[in-house]
Amino acid sequence: MKIFCVGRNYAEHAKELQNEVPDAPVIFMKPSTALLSENKDFYYPNFTKDLHYECELVLRICKNGRAVSEKFARNYYDAITVGIDFTARDLQQYQKEKGLPWEIAKAFDQSAVLGKWKAITDEDKNKPFQFSLNKNGVKVQNGQTENLLFSFEKIISYISQFFTLNMGDIIYTGTPKGVGPVEIGDQLVAELFNEELLNFSIK
C-alpha cells in the first residue's frame, strides 16, 4: 500500500503559505507507517514544536494501472474519506532553507490520519464534494472540490505516469486554506457533507 499526497492543490492554501501556485500536481509520498486510522489518538511527537493540521479528501484506489488516461481515471477509485496530513512546520522550514528533502517533516510515523471510508458511485463522482474540519468545536477549514486546482482524475492520471497504482493505494488530494497548529488536548473532527468520518484527540 502506497500513500500519495498532493501539495498546493488549492490556490488559497498556496497563497497562505506564500508558495507559488503550481502548474502541475505537486506529489510526495508517505510510508505505510505514517497511517493512523480507526480514530486512534495521535501522540504529539517530541521532535517538533510547531505541528500543523491539514485536512484533505482522501481517495482509495480500486484497480491496478499505469499511465492511466485522464478520461478513464474516474474508474480507478471507489471510496472517499477525510484525513489529516500532519506537518512539522518548523522542521519543514529548516529543511527548505538548507535545500534538503523534507520527508522528516511530512512522512513521520502517524502523520497520515485516515477517516472512515465512504463508498461512492459514478453518479457521486459527478457532484462536488464538501468537507470541513473542526478543532475543539470551532470550524477551522472548509473545502469544496470545485476549488481544486487539479481534479481527482487529473491527479490519478498524473501520478500513474510515474508510479504504478495498486488496489488499496490511497491519495491525499490537498488541503484548503485554514491550516494551523495543534496542541496536546485538542480534539479534531472532520466531516464530509456534514457526516462525521474522523474524530480523534491529540495526546
- pTM score over 0.85: yes
Of 69, 107, 176, the residue nearest 190 (C-alpha): 176
Q: pLDDT tens across 118-151, in order? A: 999 999 999 999 999 999 999 999 999 999 999 9
Which residue from 51, 39, 33 is spatially nearest to 184, judged by alpha carbons?
51
pLDDT band at 20; cut points 50, 70, 90: confident
Instruction: Detail the DSSP E strand segments found in 31-156.
Output: 35-36, 51-53, 55-61, 77-85, 87-88, 112-114, 118-119, 130-135, 138-144
Residue with cell 477549514: 141
pLDDT tens figures, 69-86: 999 999 999 999 999 999
Domain 3-201 indexed as CATH 3.90.850.10: yes
Mean pLDDT of the chain: 95
Average pLDDT over residues 99-122: 97
Would you state the cell numbers that stand for residue 191, as one nine-digit string? 466531516
